[in-house]
């Protein structure tokens, strides 16, 4: 995982619309790899990872590499609960981006 949302989340939802990969979901929501992608994935829905606070799908999080200079969730979070969880190389993050989106 690149970024995670900690227990300090106040459920304001500021982070969700900022994610270019649609990797952020409201607590209790089902999610799919196909959400927010430009590739024709079959939508398979998975159980929520958290029920009480927003959560980030690590398989979809690219730290906004290839879209922005810095992770947008970290920029807009009013309580700074979007934090780095595990360091991933830029190459690995770009690989995830290209798995989710058609190259431009």
Residue 92, C-beta contacts closer than 8 angstroms, at least 6 positions apart? none
Q: Where are the domains of the chain?
A: 1-104
Q: CB-side exposure of 74: number of CA atoms within 13 Å?
A: 14
Lowest mean pLDDT among 24-28, 29-33, 34-38, 91-95: 34-38
> What per-residue confidence (pLDDT) applies to 93?
94
DSSP 20-34: TT--EE-TT--B-TT
> What per-residue confidence (pLDDT) applies to 14?
98
Whether the predicted pLDDT of 2 surpasses 90: no
CATH for 1-104, options being 3.40.50.150, 1.10.10.10, 3.30.70.20, 2.60.40.420: 3.30.70.20
């Amino acid at each position: 995982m690149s970024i995670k949302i900690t227990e300090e989340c106040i459920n304001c939802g500021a982070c969700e619309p900022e994610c270019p990969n649609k990797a952020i979901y409201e607590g209790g929501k089902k999610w799919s790899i196909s959400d927010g992608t430009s590739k024709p994935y079959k939508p398979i829905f998975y159980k929520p990872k958290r029920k009480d606070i927003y959560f980030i799908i690590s398989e979809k999080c690219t730290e906004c590499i290839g879209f922005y200079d810095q992770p947008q969730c970290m920029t807009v979070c009013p309580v700074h609960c979007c934090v780095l969880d595990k360091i991933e190389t830029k190459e690995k993050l770009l690989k995830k981006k290209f798995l989710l989106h058609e190259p431009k």
